[in-house]
Structure 1
């Protein structure tokens, strides 16, 4: 057998080493390939991935821009982060193919986002297009973070960002394999979607599904910002329909169990927005055999205030559907509301009262509400938050709904009427809450047992304030409700006795109502006059000529009205006979 020479042996050795190097390089190439695929943004990136064998040549104008940039960094102060020279440099650096120069531009934008106190000029947004589309990950991170900061601080107009075309590169970053870039791009879209003008433009780009995917991310920051973006988009009725079609409901409902309270809140708020449209109610309830109601009722006990409030608001919207409302009441919701109202948290109380108000509008729930002793809780709540317009308005409206002959003893026991009398002095004349409190007291004073309690609680200050409310020319409805209270209380002799020191004000009040242009005021004035005429003290006062003249005028008006009505009915009957 022939033997090979030393030279051939060397060639074979070299060939073997070359194969080993090739195999090693091939392994690295395969690793690099899979790394790129994993980080791929669905082939939407317009610029190619960086070629490590290619190093762009630094152009002369880029060298000059870099030197100038360094000088600007050294000389820049908080008051001079924005000027024309800076912009020219940033435009040059951002457009460069050299990642280091782009990173410098991105870093400066990050500096701007932390220093700027005023609005960023629109032309400064243009370099972002190149930076956001950079193939360098660090550039993407810094650029997206700085834009997030500027939007959050209100240094950039949200509509302008979309109008100049930055939405496209931002949406491309949603597909990044980098958690930081995903987090920042989600935050940008969430902030842009706060603008009503931007929402439908964003939704038209097909972002619903990508956001639903990111909402399932294992990275808490990405998940939080993705659900936050869905929340802001859900404020549009058109987008609510898209969210339901794209399968957002199961994702949002699932996130109600999230350990992250922010994700819970965003999901609950988005569901609340969707529930504001009754057309979606059935779809929401059908998921998981009604699991949504169970989760929302559970969140009412959340220690996080805004989550608890949002759960109540969502249930309130869903309860506009009678079948769902029946289910909510059957699930022991009223007992939970009673417990929630015992806490002195104003926001939580308002949210709970909002839900209770909707439930109280259904006559079939009245017995259940009264039997849960919620009236007693409302009485205490009014005393604790007597200066809160929201709580006073809602509580007064609920009590008004519940006031019947059958519930008057429960209202007396709850001290609700006493609390409402105290609240009466806390609001300005033009307050809607004051009107509802007065209307509620007027309704309560129709019932004998409650009327007796109200009269026992009256003192000089309350009577003077009540009489003052009857003379509000700027607020006719409030004036009328205050008159109703006096008229209803006037049935009781004890009240007329309490009014004796205020004869002058009573006369002025009745004359004011008798002279009023509206018949309802004239009628109420006559009723009050009739009730107070039972007291000899007032009989003498009402015999004065001014009263006589005014009563004759009202009588004449009534006679003329009767004649006109008779003429109208006679004409109708005559036409029928023909």
Structure 2
């Protein structure tokens, strides 16, 4: 109570307050009773419906949704010829779509159909947005919406001329198409209107229509129908759109289409290489997800040799090298993946080398720990080293030191390390590269190779790593690097000599021959298990040679009767 009153006055005021509250409650109840009686008269029917709807729009108790009186009133509002009452019902659904946390009862779905058929644009906008919300939150079964015939009025909203209604209807179609069981119905009825809306001059309508088309490329069946209906030219023409979301949706849809080779002829039918030119332009986009998606689409297309040739004719390497330098790992991964696909086609290699790809790959390996980038970089180096021009470019670049650095990258998977060693091993067969690696390698990298050579659980990784060690040039500096590791080296060599696979035995012998140039190694080898295994291999070889001498030399025709 306010200050300044004595205790007795304060008590009197409190009693007055309580009395007034009681009077107001009684008055409120009397008013409700009077209006309840009045509302039973037909002359007050519309007023009653409006007031009932206002109560419905404030309903938060989901347990009351199936109340028979509420359902009847809502149905009457939805089917009324009075657009104000229709709007009331539509607003109820809009309110419901934001607050409902459980599935909408089937009985409450029925009035939606009547509201979709309304001639009032505001009613259509409100109810279509409500339906989008309910579908997004899975409050309404997509199959039920189709079964109740709502697809037809939803598609008719495409032609309404109202951008808001078109956007909402497109969103509805997209959600309905996300269900595999509905996709056929949506495709048969909705594909042509969607393609028409994708050509809209309204950016928002175009964006949502393209989004809907993207969802229709998520199965082979619907993709085929979309292509048959002329969807490819529409999507290709959307690539240069000024709206970055439209660019992304259309590019992703085309990427899905390109995954099926039967569609490639239609993709290439568009004149003057328009598709490839548009994708290459998108590769240079400042929007990272768009440039990456364009790379993925080109990579999928590049499985077609004809498309690869066209890409090379369009000077595709330069924009890819620019993207290769981007600070974003996603962009770099997309670019290196596409360049890896291009390097697999031998006729492209001289161009890739002359454009400076190996120089960029060498620098990239010094600044990345991405398994994707390292793996594809190894593949590019291996592919391009198939020519003398490529070998020379590797020597002049930082590829060798980059590979050794990648070997030390923390957290790399065993598969990625295998890619690195598989790339290093053949490089060691070239004397200039062997010399370069021998003077570049560090003690930490030698230690890493020795450890990997002992990975008996992964024989190929072990073999690759040991093969690099076996080819190192045994100089005084190299002996200094290897001496701390002679004991583990002897351990894995002993294991190699026990292998039944001859290539492991041969590698073990070659390594021992190379390392014996160091007296310290020879001393440790004496009387070791490795030496014992070496003598066993020698004895087996001698026995094999003796047995072969007992047989007359075989002519080629007796060895291979087909000759």
After superposition, residues 377-392 of structure 1 pair within 5 angstroms as 377-384=360-367, 386-392=368-374
Cα distance in 2 for residues equivalent to 1:137 and 1:561: 93
Q: 1:218 to 1:538 in 2, by over 3 A?
A: same
SS at match of 2:517: coil
- 1:354 to 2:337 alignment: yes
Map of 2:315 onto structure 1: 332
Map of 1:505 onto structure 2: 488
- What is the deviation of 1:398? 1.1
Cα distance in 2 for residues equivalent to 1:309 and 1:358: 15
Map of 2:168 onto structure 1: 184
Picking from 63, 69, 80, the partner of 1:83 is 63
- What is the deviation of 1:329? 0.7
Q: 1:84 to 1:343 in 2, by over 3 A?
A: same
Picking from 255, 258, 268, the partner of 2:241 is 258
Contact 1:107 1:142 in 2 (8 A): yes
Cα distance in 1 for residues equivalent to 2:515 and 2:143: 65
Q: 1:183 to 1:450 in 2, by over 3 A?
A: same
Picking from 244, 252, 257, the partner of 1:269 is 252
After superposition, residues 75-114 of structure 1 pair within 5 angstroms as 76=60, 82-85=62-65, 91-96=71-76, 97-98=79-80, 99-100=83-84, 102-114=86-98
- What is the deviation of 1:415? 0.5
- 1:146 to 2:130 alignment: yes
Q: 1:168 to 1:108 in 2, by over 3 A?
A: same
SS at match of 1:407: helix
- What is the deviation of 1:506? 0.8
Contact 1:94 1:102 in 2 (8 A): no
Picking from 374, 396, 402, the partner of 2:378 is 396
Cα distance in 1 for residues equivalent to 2:262 and 2:314: 23
Cα distance in 1 for residues equivalent to 2:423 and 2:287: 33
Cα distance in 1 for residues equivalent to 2:423 and 2:144: 50
SS at match of 2:454: coil
Q: 1:194 to 1:73 in 2, by over 3 A?
A: closer
Q: 1:318 to 1:576 in 2, by over 3 A?
A: closer
Cα distance in 1 for residues equivalent to 2:407 and 2:513: 26
After superposition, residues 38-49 of structure 1 pair within 5 angstroms as none
TM-score by length of 2: 0.79
- What is the deviation of 1:407? 2.3
1:235-278 per-position Cα deviation (integer Å, ceiling 9, x unaligned): 32223322222112221222122111111222222222222222
Q: 1:335 to 1:165 in 2, by over 3 A?
A: same
- What is the deviation of 1:502? 0.9
Contact 2:103 2:140 in 1 (8 A): yes
Map of 2:419 onto structure 1: 436
Contact 1:66 1:93 in 2 (8 A): no
Cα distance in 2 for residues equivalent to 1:114 and 1:556: 84
Contact 2:214 2:250 in 1 (8 A): yes
Contact 1:412 1:450 in 2 (8 A): yes
Q: 1:331 to 1:553 in 2, by over 3 A?
A: same
1:83-138 per-position Cα deviation (integer Å, ceiling 9, x unaligned): 3546767744553313555544433443344346x664675873475366341433
Map of 1:456 onto structure 2: 439
Cα distance in 1 for residues equivalent to 2:129 and 2:350: 56
1:445-489 per-position Cα deviation (integer Å, ceiling 9, x unaligned): 332222333333322322222222223344444333323322333
After superposition, residues 230-249 of structure 1 pair within 5 angstroms as 230-249=213-232
SS at match of 1:288: coil
Answer with 143-152 or 86-95: which moved more: 86-95
Answer with 259-268 or 509-518: which moved more: 509-518
Task: Give the gaps of 5 or more residues in structure 1.
Answer: 1-56
1:172-228 per-position Cα deviation (integer Å, ceiling 9, x unaligned): 44343432121112122224444555544532x232211111111122111111111
Contact 1:182 1:222 in 2 (8 A): yes
Q: 1:128 to 1:95 in 2, by over 3 A?
A: closer
- 1:213 to 2:193 alignment: no
- 1:413 to 2:396 alignment: yes
Q: 1:394 to 1:356 in 2, by over 3 A?
A: same
Contact 2:343 2:352 in 1 (8 A): yes
Map of 2:277 onto structure 1: 294
Contact 2:86 2:115 in 1 (8 A): no
Cα distance in 2 for residues equivalent to 1:551 and 1:87: 90
After superposition, residues 491-502 of structure 1 pair within 5 angstroms as 494-502=477-485
Cα distance in 1 for residues equivalent to 2:141 and 2:482: 62
Cα distance in 2 for residues equivalent to 1:247 and 1:449: 56
- 1:228 to 2:208 alignment: no
Cα distance in 2 for residues equivalent to 1:457 and 1:514: 29
TM-score by length of 1: 0.77
1:36-77 per-position Cα deviation (integer Å, ceiling 9, x unaligned): xxxxxxxxxxxxxxxxxxxxx98999988875664465563x
SS at match of 1:206: helix
Contact 1:257 1:264 in 2 (8 A): yes
Q: 1:89 to 1:461 in 2, by over 3 A?
A: farther
After superposition, residues 407-556 of structure 1 pair within 5 angstroms as 407-428=390-411, 430-489=413-472, 494-516=477-499, 518-551=501-534, 554=537
Q: 1:299 to 1:334 in 2, by over 3 A?
A: same
Cα distance in 1 for residues equivalent to 2:115 and 2:439: 73
Map of 1:319 onto structure 2: 302
Cα distance in 2 for residues equivalent to 1:59 and 1:523: 105
Cα distance in 2 for residues equivalent to 1:64 and 1:180: 32
Contact 2:248 2:290 in 1 (8 A): yes
